Structures are given as C-alpha cells and as structure tokens.
C-alpha cells in the first residue's frame, strides 16, 4: 500500500469513527427534548448497545481482511447477511454524510467572517459608484439591519437545503442496496471487425460476467438472468469469470442456475480471480463442463459459419492485479481472434499481438466509487486504465463488462449490472 493510499484510508477510518460519535450525539440531542432523564438514558444505552452488537456480530466480516482461500458464503439471504448489509450501509452513508456536515460547517463559518472596515468601504464604494478620491463614507461601523421576516425565511431555507444535502448519502445508499444492484441493463453494441468474414455479418454474442453467487445474488436470481439472456436470442454466449464470491462449495448452485443457457453456437467461459483465490479452478471447470458450458483455460476453439471460421480463445486467470500476458500459440493470424479474459489489463499485450476483440470483466464498472478501501469491501481497486465499456488500441478493441453481481458491499452506485449483446459486422 502506497503512503498516499494509507493516508487516505486512515483519514476515512478516522472520519467514520468521528461520524459515529457525531450521530450518536445528535440522537442524544433529540432525546434530550424529552423531560424524563430516565427515558433519555435508556435511549442512549439502547443506541450504544446496538453499536456494540453490530460491531461484534459483524466484526469478523467487516474489519478482517480474509486470507485468499475458502470463505463461508451463503447462497440465500438470511438474517446475518441482511444485518451485515444494513451495518455496512449505515457505516458508509453516515461517514459520507458526516463529511458533508463538516463541509457545510466550514462554508457557514466562512460566510460569517465579517469583512474588514477597509474592504467593507471598498465594496460600498463599488456598489454606489463612488470614486476612491472622495471622502470616507459615514456610518460604516454601524451593523447592517436586515428585514427580520426575510432573514428568517432565508435561514430556514438554507437549513432545509443543508439537511437535504446531508441526507443524500442515506437515500443514495439505500437505493444502491435495494434497487441499484439488481437494476439490470441490456447493453447492445455494434462491433466492426475489418477481417470478419461476410458469413458472420450480424452474428450476435451475449456476454455475462462477475456473477458472484452469494446471499445477495442467489441461485434463483441468477436463473432469472439466464432466462433474460436466452430471450435475447444470441448466436453465442460467453461468460468471463468470477462465478463464485468466496465459498467454493457454492459452485454447484451457480452452475445449476447457469445450466439453462442456450445458444446455437454454444456457451463458452473463462475463469476469474475468485475461482483462483478459492482454489476452485479445477472443480468449477468440471461442474461447468458437465453442464454443457465449455471452459477455455489457455485454449482456443473454432466457431464455424458456412465453412468460415473465427478463433475464440479463453485464458487462465492468475493471482496478480495489474499485468497479464496472453500465452503463446493461441493466436491465428489468418482469422479474426476473439479473446475471453477476466482481467482487462491483458488488453495491452493482446492488442500488441493482434487480437481483434477482447472481452473482459473484473471491474464491476467500479460498483461503489471509492477506491481506497480493501478489495473485500470495494471492487474499484483497479490499478488499470480499463474501467468499463469500449476501448481501442492499434485498431484492436476491448469491451469491459460491468458484471451482474457484487462483492463486499451489496451495492451498486452509478454502475448498474449489465448483460451485453454484441452484433458483429465486417468493417
């Protein structure tokens, strides 16, 4: 971790701690309006008890960075997962709201700083059109008398506006938790490939990525996305990794949900880093193959239409975050080559080698736009210029799919889940 990253993370944690004290005091302030000291004390004790219960009950999943290996993960939403999500929602949104409170307080303090007499007189002269050589203006030291009703109305308007601004993180976070993570978008992309045979004109490829089965992406929900994908009537379906979240035992459930995928030219997949971290690459390959989904691990297959071919390649994920290379011997220079890679960082090497189109995932489109917290909590730790959508380099193309699942926080802010349908044509 770089010093700057550590400093930002430390600042965020300190801000979060101070924010919890601030909101607790606000609740106590509201309770102070009650006349009974006993009721106030009971309410404050309940609040403190809730904090301690939330931290102790969720502590092992909130603050401990897990070893990269098997992690317990439910595939159905239960009380503990729901309570964890609510706790994460509160910690994130209350911290951001507290940051806005500080900004508003600074602005209010700055607005109340009186002008010096010299600067005050200069502004009055400017407004009245008085020259600098004219004598001083009398009565500059007298306070400005404002119309009380107008000032009162303006003050209330500003207070309500400030309250609305502070409340925004809570509303946005709630939407991201309840709706944003499931608000699926079908993205349709027209891809022009210079060397694509005319027989492939209009060939449709559907891409799903980063499914991350969990209590917030259940087997039933994945099955719904499977039906939606089939209803798009693609010629070919590709899956670009991260079927699991942390628990390798969930492999059977996610494969059962995906087993219904159907396309005339087949369903193909590459694996992701979560299969590698869970030590489940071999088991997931076996399960997917048994369900009729062809797993490409540093392997290529021909896709044939009327005796014309394109070359479909899938590569093995590694444990790194940044760079990734395409293995030798997979490219066929005489054909169009489509590369499936979980990591988008492979694109630099793929474009240099001559791969016409690279399809990737991994980033979730950012999922939650905070990149300084651990990957366990946020997925935006990209260290890559390829974030989401389309990119081009040396005439070669990359598309980064936002995925349909979440990792860590079950929220999506500004990065809706996505199924992409590519329609290919010769350039």
pLDDT > 70: what percent of the chain? 77
Q: How far is CA 337 from CA 53, 267, 312, 325, 427, in A?
A: 54, 17, 6, 16, 15
Q: Which domain holds residue 330?
A: 185-426
Lowest mean pLDDT among 38-52, 59-73, 256-270: 59-73
Global confidence as pTM = 0.80
Q: Are 384 and 370 in contact (CB under 8 A)?
A: no
Q: Is residue 323 part of a domain?
A: yes
Tell me, yes or no, whether 4 lies in a domain.
no
C-alpha dist (Å) from residue 324 to 16, 340, 345: 36, 13, 6
Phi–psi pair at 215, nearest 5 degrees? -65, -20
Give the confidence band of 84 by pLDDT, cuts at 50, 70, 90: confident
The answer to whether residue 122 sits within a structural domain is: no
User: Which tens digit of pLDDT belongs to each residue from 288-315?
Assistant: 999 999 999 999 999 999 889 999 999 9
Report yes or no on 130 lying in a domain.
Answer: no
pLDDT band of residue 137 (cuts 50, 70, 90) is low
55 domain-assigned: no
Determine how many CB atoms are found less than 10 A away from the CB of residue 65: 9
d(CA 358, CA 9) in angstroms, rounded, equals: 34
**Total number of domains constituting the chain:** 1
Average of per-residue pLDDT values in the chain? 82
Q: Flag whether 195 is in a domain.
A: yes
Q: Please give the average per-residue pLDDT across 265-284, as a whole number.
A: 93
Which two structure tokens, joined as six digits, stand for 384?
């890559």
Per-residue pLDDT reduced to its tens digit, 178-211: 888 999 999 999 999 999 999 999 999 999 999 9
Q: Check which CATH number belongs to the domain holding 326 and give it.
A: 3.60.21.10
342 occurs within a structural domain:
yes
Residue 135 placed within a domain: no
């Amino acid at each position: 971790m770089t010093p700057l990253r550590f400093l930002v993370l430390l600042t965020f944690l300190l801000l979060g701690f101070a924010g919890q004290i601030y909101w607790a005091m606000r609740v106590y302030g509201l309770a102070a309006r009650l006349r009974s000291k006993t009721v106030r004390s009971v309410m404050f004790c309940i609040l403190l008890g809730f904090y301690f219960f939330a931290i102790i009950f969720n502590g092992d999943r909130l603050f401990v960075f897990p070893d990269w290996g098997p992690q317990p993960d439910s595939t159905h939403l239960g009380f503990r997962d729901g309570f964890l999500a609510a706790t994460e929602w509160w910690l994130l949104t209350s911290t951001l709201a507290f940051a806005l409170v500080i900004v508003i307080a600074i602005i209010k303090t700055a607005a109340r700083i009186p002008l010096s007499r010299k600067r005050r007189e200069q502004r009055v002269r400017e407004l009245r059109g008085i020259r600098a050589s004219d004598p001083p203006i009398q009565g500059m030291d007298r306070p400005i008398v404002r119309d009380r009703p107008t000032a009162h109305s303006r003050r209330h308007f500003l207070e309500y506006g400030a309250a609305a601004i502070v409340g925004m993180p809570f509303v946005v976070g709630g939407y991201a938790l309840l709706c944003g993570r499931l608000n699926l978008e079908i993205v349709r992309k027209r891809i022009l490939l210079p060397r694509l045979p005319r027989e492939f004109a209009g060939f449709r490829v559907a891409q799903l990525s980063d499914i991350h089965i969990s209590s917030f992406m259940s087997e039933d929900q994945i099955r719904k996305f499977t039906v939606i994908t089939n209803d798009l009537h693609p010629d070919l379906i590709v899956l670009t990794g991260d079927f699991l979240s942390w628990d390798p035992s969930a492999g059977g459930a996610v494969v059962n949900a995906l087993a219904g995928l159907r396309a005339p030219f087949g369903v193909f997949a590459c694996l992701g880093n979560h299969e590698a971290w869970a030590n489940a690459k071999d088991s997931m390959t076996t399960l997917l193959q048994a369900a009729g989904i062809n797993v490409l691990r540093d392997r290529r297959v021909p896709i044939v239409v009327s005796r014309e071919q394109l070359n479909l390649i899938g590569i093995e994920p590694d444990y790194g975050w940044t760079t990734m290379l395409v293995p030798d011997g997979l490219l066929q220079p005489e054909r169009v080559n489509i590369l499936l890679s979980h990591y988008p960082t492979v694109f630099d090497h793929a474009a240099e080698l001559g791969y016409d189109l690279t399809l990737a995932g991994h980033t979730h489109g950012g999922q939650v736009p905070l990149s300084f917290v651990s990957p366990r909590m946020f997925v935006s730790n990209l260290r890559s210029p390829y974030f989401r959508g389309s990119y081009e380099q040396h005439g070669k193309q990359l598309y980064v799919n936002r995925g349909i699942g979440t990792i860590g926080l079950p929220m999506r802010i500004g990065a809706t889940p996505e199924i992409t349908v590519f329609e290919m044509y010769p350039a």
